[in-house]
Amino acid sequence: MENEVKLASGAMVALGIATAALVVMPYLEVRDIKPPPQLKPYTSAQLRGREVYVANGCVYCHSQQPRDRNLGPDGQRGWGRASVPGDYFYDRPHLLGSMRTGPDLFNIGARQPSKDWHLGHLYQPRAYVPDSIMPSYPYLFTVKDEKDAQAEGEQPLALPPGFRPMIGQVVVPTPEALDLVKYLQGMDHTYPVLPPEPKPVAQSKADSHAQ
């Protein structure tokens, strides 16, 4: 009997320590984090686009977490400053990602603002990046007769030559594709999050004389 009591109390202690270290402490660390003032909440179109991003598994190839320059050359790759906890304030669930088969997308909206480029690239990545191994997402688009698309007031994709459908037909985006692109265009975390570095004393004195 004595051994069972020891076993049960040992298990409780281990569980208690694990809960404190993995649940309570992280919660205390992040509960007071505020969103940076320049970070805007998602629009409803962007939130729908985020769901398309999740449903299509973009997170399996794309991270959303540029690293600090001491940990990797993400800044030199043009992916932006290291992210901070506040940047993720509106992200539920977060889409940090752990694989980088493709580039980090945390600042893709700043790097590539073109709606036409994003739509065409989702329809056929190889039309824009010849050696791309990203899958194409044809089911986010419909191929239609040009006349029908015109009559319905839809805007066809401006695809590069060689990637257009048969003559007389055009590719038009579905609402899911349009929402996804709104989400991608909105991914811009290039605002500063740290206070500017203090000026050297001599220089700030010279500045105040000049004013």
Compute the least distance from the CB of residue 122 to ligand HEC, in Å: 6
Compute the least distance from the CB of residue 62 to ligand HEC, in Å: 5
Q: Which is nearer to ligand HEC, 105 or 170 (CB)?
A: 105
| C-alpha separations of 64 from 20, 158, 169, 177, 189 in Å | 28, 28, 36, 20, 10
One-letter-per-residue 3-state SS of 11-60: HHHHHHHHHHHHHHHHHHHHCCCCCCCCCCCCCHHHHHHHHHHHHCCHHH
Whose tokens are 């986010």? That residue is: 140
Answer for which of 137, 157, 176, 178 binds ligand HEC (CB under 6 A) is 137
Compute the least distance from the CB of residue 71 to ligand HEC, in Å: 20
Number of Cβ within 10 Å of residue 49's Cβ equals 24
130 vs 133: CA distance, rounded Å: 9
Compute the least distance from the CB of residue 157 to ligand HEC, in Å: 15
Tell me the window of 83-91, 100-108, 147-155, 169-177 that interacts with ligand HEC (CB under 6 A): 100-108
Q: Does 184 bind ligand HEC (CB under 6 A)?
A: yes
Answer for which of 57, 85, 138, 175 binds ligand HEC (CB under 6 A) is 57
Answer for which of 50, 74, 97, 108 binds ligand HEC (CB under 6 A) is 108
Q: Does 67 bind ligand HEC (CB under 6 A)?
A: no
Q: Which of 115, 121, 111, 112 is nearest to 160 (CA)?
A: 121
* DSSP H or E segment with residue 27: helix 25-30
Q: Does 155 bind ligand HEC (CB under 6 A)?
A: no
Q: Which is nearer to ligand HEC, 56 or 169 (CB)?
A: 56
- Tokens standing for 132? 């791309």
| C-alpha separations of 23 from 18, 28, 29, 73, 92 in Å | 8, 9, 10, 31, 17
Return the residues of window 163-182 that contact ligand HEC according to CB under 6 A. 180
Question: Coil, strand or helix: which one is 178?
Answer: helix
Tell me the window of 83-91, 107-115, 141-149, 200-208 that interacts with ligand HEC (CB under 6 A): 107-115
**Where on the chain is the footprint of ligand HEC (CB under 6 A)?**
53, 56-58, 60-62, 101-103, 105, 108, 111-112, 125, 129, 132-135, 137, 180, 184
